[in-house]
């Protein structure tokens, strides 16, 4: 039996051959929603480099991003720090002057192994962007009373 091809006509319905794969779970997360416009712009510019097998090998150097319309190193630096603080990207290789760029990977995808990276897939913080989401409420069991703390003095006696 042949597999159903759900998206067999999808390629003919869009302009261009490739697309930017950004999961809806990320778009609806607290980490993404709290980003500024420059943080969202950098996320899209980094996604433009992603090919499905190069997560961890994404460059946000000013010389690369200038071609995508970035005009200020300070703005780019702030956007990069914002994405790191939100847990959406993680540094996979430390840059060094003059010719070694810092590389990044998306935490919403698995890291693709590459010998030039300083982080392994095992040490990569996949799913770190979820840490900004609020914890789900914990419902108390039916009929269970919540225990309250009582104050105790230094001698073990209740006050």
- Domains in the chain (CATH in brackets) are 21-132 (1.10.10.10)
Q: How confident is the model at residue 136 (pLDDT cuts 50, 70, 90)?
A: confident
Question: pLDDT by residue (tens digit) across 34-87?
Answer: 999 999 999 999 999 999 899 999 999 999 999 999 999 999 999 999 999 999
Q: pLDDT averaged over the chain?
A: 84
φ and ψ at 79, to 5 degrees? -65, -40
φ and ψ at 16, to 5 degrees? 85, 165
The packing angle between helices 73-86 and 37-47, to 10°, is 80
Give the mean model confidence (pLDDT) for residues 131-158: 64
Q: 58-59 and 103-106 as β-strands: parallel, antiparallel, unpaired?
A: antiparallel
Q: Specify the residue for token string 């996949």.
A: 126
- Residue scoring higher pLDDT (149 or 117): 117
What span, in angstroms and rounded, lies between the C-alpha atoms of 5 and 152? Answer: 67
- Whole-number percent of the chain with pLDDT over 90: 53
């Amino acid at each position: 039996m042949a597999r159903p091809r759900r998206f067999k006509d999808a390629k003919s319905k869009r302009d261009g051959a490739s697309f930017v794969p950004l999961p809806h779970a990320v778009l609806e997360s607290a980490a993404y929603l709290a980003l500024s416009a420059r943080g969202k712009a950098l996320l899209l510019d980094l996604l433009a480099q992603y090919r499905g097998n190069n997560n961890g090998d994404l460059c946000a150097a000013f010389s690369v991003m200038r071609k995508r319309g970035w005009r200020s190193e300070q703005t780019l630096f702030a956007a990069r720090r914002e994405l790191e603080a939100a847990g959406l990207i993680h540094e996979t290789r430390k840059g060094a002057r003059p010719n070694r760029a810092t590389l990044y990977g998306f935490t919403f995808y698995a890291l693709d192994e590459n010998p030039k990276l300083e982080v392994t897939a095992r040490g990569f913080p996949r799913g770190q962007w979820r840490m900004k989401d609020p914890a789900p409420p914990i419902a108390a069991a039916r009929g269970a009373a919540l225990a309250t703390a009582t104050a105790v003095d230094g001698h073990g006696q209740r006050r």
